Amino acid sequence: MFEQERLENAISYFAREHKRRSGETLTSLRLYKYIALLQHWGIETHGKPVFGLTFSAMRMGPVPLEIYDKRNSLARPLFKFIKYSYFKPNAEFDGGWCVVANGEPDLTYFSKQEITEMNRLLEIYAHRGVSSQDMSDASHEVIRAWKKAWKTKPNSIIDWGLTFSSDPQGKKAEDLSPEEENYLLSLAFKGLRGATAR
């Protein structure tokens, strides 16, 4: 339950702050990039995923499947997804989803470092001149795990262990960096939680 509440508060915060800072409603694509970039930061910096989400290596970058698969019916007290459509200048129809904040997010679910990183991402990407394509390109550039997954098999599940220069699961304990060790511990705890939930 705690992880779900963290995720919902993050979605609400990104939706509210993106709108406040850029004047534009947050599209689902941009939300996926904020969440993926925050997840990447958590693993790269601390060895721990910020959220317990499964990401797919899609063409436009990493996409959290638990959100993507439910976007047409996802509404919570803190946010809702709304369908929109528009015509591009080349007359090609495009449709999608945007995210609207309903309530005030509770940032006590996050560490000071996580809040700082969320705000850093918003400072970079919540501007009128920054497009969804810009965010997608940034996720391609920054997120090594997406690059490797996309190159190996497009639309495959991202193994966040690919964030590191070499596979931490193949290293001896004494050769692990603190981030790699934390990452392996997070995988072990996730496995234990899954085993006890059955």
pLDDT value, residue 73: 77
- Please, which residues bridge with residue 62 across strands? 57
Terminal-to-terminal C-alpha distance of the chain: 16
Domain residue spans of the chain: 2-159, 164-198
The pLDDT assigned to 76 comes to 86
Residues in the chain predicted with pLDDT less than 50, given as ranges, are 87-94, 196-198
Tens digits of residue pLDDT in 75-115: 788 999 988 766 444 434 345 889 999 989 999 999 999 99
Q: Which helix (H) or strand (E) holds 99?
A: strand 93-101
Is 36 strand, coil or helix?
helix
pLDDT given for residue 94 in this prediction: 46
CA 51, CA 48: separation in Å to the nearest integer? 9
Read off the amino acid at residue 22. S
- Asked if residue 40 lies in contact with residue 143, where contact means CB atoms within 8 angstroms, the answer is yes
Give the pLDDT score at 8: 96
pLDDT of residue 193: 53
